[in-house]
Amino acid sequence: MNSTDTNRATTIGIMGAGAIGLYVGGMLAQASARVVFAARGRTLEALRRGLAVSRYDGFKAELKPEHYSAGGADGLADCDVVLFCTKSGDTESAALELVKTLKPGATVISLQNGIGNVDLLKSLLPMHEVVAGTVPFNVVRLSPNAVHCSMEGKVLIGPSDASSKLVDRARASRLKIEVHDNLDALQWGKLMLNLNNGLNVLSGLPLREQFEDPGYRAVLAMAMDELLQALDAAGITAIGATRTNPRLIPKVLRLPTWLFRLAARQQLKMDDTARSSSWDDLKAGGEPETRFLNGAVCSLAEAHGRTAPVNQLICRLVDEAFAAKTSPHLSGGELLALALSAVA
């Protein structure tokens, strides 16, 4: 059997049919990969009518249901590789569903936000290879069966036989997947970017508009500084999930707006639909993921004798927003005043 036949035979499962799962799975299905979505509720009902994927560069695809399969977790029984795309808070329950279904030899690749998901998956799926991955670009969920990628970026995954097959399969699509050797350090770099997710909930603005405000940028820089200080105390190295060195990002964020636009022009190549996944969770009535993002900074800092008051503040304000089921629409100046008070 040649390599093309092998790739065609590989069945890819998507555990967690949120924005990332639908986009990655949809792009692979559009390139004729065999894709199976594990979904439930209105998402499953919508997928039975079709799936729409689009990109910032004008690409659009309307996939009919015959281009993929959709059902419960038991539908992943024949999958060779499963892309694990659930929210961090759902990792344990989803893995316990999956362990009843996975066939011997199936590989699980985590494409989740936050730190610690891979270790948890390894403990719950001891008979399967678990590989780390990260998605350092933004995908917006437009409806239960429509997603839009609002900026450029590559899916980054750790090395494995399944990773190589996934990269080969993605070459036929506009989805870029790349194998990276140091996913541990890269995930800390991605966490740094994800510290903005909660701020996006608090601002209630599209990301591009939020980044135009120096107040929001200053608070994000403060949150990132706390992470970098905690990483230094723990002796952990972070690698940038983008081309920018993580230690330069807070400095760039503090530049005057006109200079920030020039310095961050590559990172600002996003369309006006771009929002954070936490904003999507708020609008969908979900649970806040902030405790796995900004909360991870607080935990790391505390474990090494430090504090992270800005990240702690963001966690509290986001919890309040989710409890109220709406964004407080804090201005950049208002949020900065609260952050300065928290560190005083």
The pLDDT confidence band at residue 2, using thresholds 50, 70 and 90, is very low
Burial 271-299 (b: 16+ CB within 10 A, else e): bebbbbbbbbbbeeebebbbbbbbbbbbb
Q: How is domain 3-181 classified at the CATH fold level?
A: Rossmann fold (3.40.50)
The pLDDT value given to residue 9: 66
Asked if residue 17 has pLDDT above 90, the reply is: yes
Domain boundaries, the chain: 3-181, 194-343
Mean pLDDT value across the chain: 93
Question: Between these two residues, 285 and 26, which has the higher pLDDT value?
Answer: 26
Q: Is residue 87's pLDDT more than 60? A: yes
pLDDT value at position 1? Answer: 32
Taking a C-beta distance cutoff of 8 angstroms, is the pair 219, 196 a contact?
no
Can you give the pLDDT at residue 240?
82
pLDDT of 218 above 90:
yes
The three-state secondary structure class of 103 is coil
Hey, do 3-181 and 194-343 end up sharing a CATH topology, with the first three levels equal?
A: no
- Phi and psi, residue 218, nearest 5°: -65, -40
Look at residue 309 in the predicted model and tell me its pLDDT.
98
- CA dist 230 and 308 (Å) reads 8
Residue 264 has pLDDT above 50, yes or no: yes
pLDDT in tens, 67-77: 999 999 999 99
Q: Residue 113 has what pLDDT?
A: 93
Q: Given CA atoms 68, 70, 73, 77 in this order, what sign does their dihedral have?
A: negative
Q: Give me the pLDDT at residue 271, please.
A: 79
Write out pLDDT tens, residues 110-140.
999 999 999 999 999 999 999 999 998 889 9
Residue 258 has pLDDT above 80, yes or no: yes
pLDDT band at 4; cut points 50, 70, 90: very low
In the chain, % of residues over pLDDT 70: 97
| DSSP SS3 for 15 | strand
Class of domain 194-343: mainly alpha
- Identity of the amino acid at 295: G
What does the DSSP assignment read for 130-146? Answer: EEEEE--S-EEEEETTE
Q: Which residue is listed with tokens 């009843």?
A: 100
Distance CA 65, CA 53 (A): 13
**What average pLDDT does this structure show over 192-212?**
95
* Residue 3: pLDDT over 50: no
